[in-house]
Amino acid sequence: MQDAIFKSRTIAGAVAMIVGLAAAPAAFASPPALAGLCASCHGTNGISPYPTYPNIAGQKEGYIAYALRQYQTHQRLGSQASIMAAVAGQLSADDIKALATYYASLSAQ
Ligand code: HEC
């Protein structure tokens, strides 16, 4: 009897630990260094303080990466797109992946 209680507590503890570990990467994702470049316009948490600049937190990862590549290759045009073309021009494929993963993991609020 005692043994069964001990076992179920141990299992519950192990399950809690596994759940905690699985949740950790999303909750504690540290921003890639380049996110500092984005913060002035898109906010430190991906929520822009400017009315005409988009929020990017919680956006789909694939869409963020796609948009950055579109700016990089000048396939997205417009007066505000030229701002992003200058920024995206400095990014490598790995940078784009890291930034897209990071912003997609943030809460859209
Ligand atoms: C100087 C200001 C500025 C900086 C710095 C900046 N952005 Fe932007 N960003 C904008 C503006 C303005 C737009 C809207 C452009 C348009 O109209 O197409 C935009 C658009 C975007 C979009 C498209 C959003 C959508 O909904 O289509 C993404 C993704 C994005 N930025 C990501 C980034 C990332 C990642 C960084 C950092 C590497 C960054 N931006 C840095 C101003 C900035």
CATH superfamily ID and name for 31-105: Cytochrome c-like domain (1.10.760.10)
- Distance (Å, rounded) from C-alpha 68 to C-alpha 88? 6
Residue 98 CB–ligand 1 contact under 6 Å: no
Say whether pLDDT at 101 is over 70.
Answer: yes
Residue 58 has pLDDT above 50, yes or no: yes
Mean pLDDT, the chain, rounded, equals 84
- pLDDT higher than 70, residue 25: no
pLDDT score for 86 = 96
pTM above 0.75, yes or no: yes
Tokens representing 27 are 């909750």
60-66: Cβ within 8 A, 24+ apart: 60/104, 61/100, 61/101, 61/103, 61/104, 62/100, 64/99, 64/100, 64/103, 64/104, 65/96, 65/97, 65/100
Tokens 């470049």 sit at which residue? 37
The whole-number pLDDT of residue 23 equals 45
pLDDT at residue 109, rounded to an integer: 84
Is 100 close to ligand 1, i.e. is its CB under 6 Å away? no
| Pocket lining: 34 vs ligand 1, CB cutoff 6 Å | yes
Determine the atom of ligand 1 nearest the C-alpha atom of 52.
12
Tell me the one-letter amino acid at 36: G
CB-CB contact of 73 with 81 (8 Å): no
- Residue type at 91 in one-letter notation: L
Residue 66, both tokens: 């796609």
Do the Cβ atoms of 103 and 68 come closer than 8 Å?
Answer: no
pLDDT category, 20, cuts 50, 70, 90? very low
pLDDT at residue number 3: 58
Q: What does the alpha-carbon distance between residue 73 and residue 9 come to, in Å, rounded to a whole number?
A: 57
